[in-house]
Amino acid sequence: MLKLKFEKYHGLGNDFVIFDEKELEKNNIKDYSKLAEKVCHRRFGIGGDGILILKYVDEVPFMLYYNSDGSQAPMCGNGIRCFAYYLKNNSYVAEDKFTVKTIPGDMILDTYTDEKGTFFARVNMGKPVFNVKELINTDKDNFINEKITIDGEEIEISFIFMGTDHSMIFSDDLSKTDIEGTGKKIENFTELFPKKVNANFVEIKDRNNIKVTTWERGAGLTLACGTGATASAVLTAYLGKTDSKVNVEVPGGILVIEYPEHGKEAFMTGPSEKVAEGYYSYEGE
Ligand SMILES: N[C@@H](CCC[C@H](N)C(=O)O)C(=O)O
């Protein structure tokens, strides 16, 4: 049995097991999808919504992300705050402001500890992508409040790429919405979303507050989705329904999202916490 050094963190209940790629290479582990599935299992593993792997590109930390079902995603918003805390805790970065590389690009993070001792990061999430022609199966330039039919049910849906693939569905009352049932159908509606998709259910409270619950591609219902909260706040601001700075209430807490100007970068601020560290007993490949 292999013993793999890990640390576990969460961002508003979206939880991740973090490995250093050097540790995986040393143990000859190449199949990160299999590792993610095993580690994230809530009964037979450590449990998590995904795994984060630290590697270095041009001597800059690079975050790789895998969902709990083993699928790889380009970016994870709550994950990157956890990753930042992991880098700080292990003295891999000294400054409070630093860059983390990800598949969609470099993310700049401003980190701080609040008066209660909780670690926070404000992340420059990059520019949302509205032009979706290359990303999903549509001829339209952008895909905002479009009607689709899945299993006979008409759904009004929008799509924005915000580090990863996000669809948004408005709801008047999230407590009365079948998030799991509809979320699963949208996630797997591959005739429109060939790479599958995350489904964010969005309730607008007022100009500065929205509620979002996310059915995540590859992980199911989670307590928070950072890129999903950002995509949702970008959409409501773009539609003129909210101001450029909103509190996004997710089941695990609050994220603050800023989208100062359309077509420019969006920013996400939220906490992260360390849960555990140790050695994961792994059968290997
Ligand atoms: N939990 C994440 C998003 C993780 C990736 C997602 N499930 C996907 O497949 O795109 C977040 O906080 O952003």
8 Å CB contact between 225 and 73: no
What are the domain boundaries of the chain? 2-126+272-282, 143-265
Query: Which tokens belong to 214?
Result: 């996310």
Q: What does the alpha-carbon distance between residue 94 and residue 96 come to, in Å, rounded to a whole number?
A: 7
Percent of the chain past pLDDT 90, that is, above it, reads 99
Of 17, 76, 223, 237, the active-site residue reads 76
Q: What is the CA radius of gyration of the chain?
A: 18
* pLDDT at site 173: 98
* Residue 198 CB less than 6 A away from ligand 1: yes
| Residue-wise pLDDT tens digits, 11-59 | 999 999 999 999 999 999 999 999 999 999 999 999 999 999 999 999 9
Read off φ and ψ for residue 148, nearest 5 degrees: -130, 160
In the block, residue with structure tokens 């992991």:
86
Query: Measuring CA to CA, which residue among 60, 51, 53, 52 is closest to residue 101?
Result: 60
**ipTM higher than 0.85?**
yes
* Residue 70 CB less than 6 A away from ligand 1: no
In terms of CATH, what superfamily is 2-126+272-282?
Diaminopimelate Epimerase; Chain A, domain 1 (3.10.310.10)
Q: What does the alpha-carbon distance between residue 143 and residue 189 come to, in Å, rounded to a whole number?
A: 15
In terms of CATH, what superfamily is 143-265?
Diaminopimelate Epimerase; Chain A, domain 1 (3.10.310.10)
Predicted TM-score (pTM) of the model is 0.98
Residue 284 has pLDDT above 90, yes or no: no
Characterize the bridge pairing of strands 50-57 and 60-67: antiparallel
| Residue-wise pLDDT tens digits, 105-120 | 999 999 999 999 999 9
8 Å CB contact between 62 and 100: yes
Residue 124 has pLDDT above 90, yes or no: yes
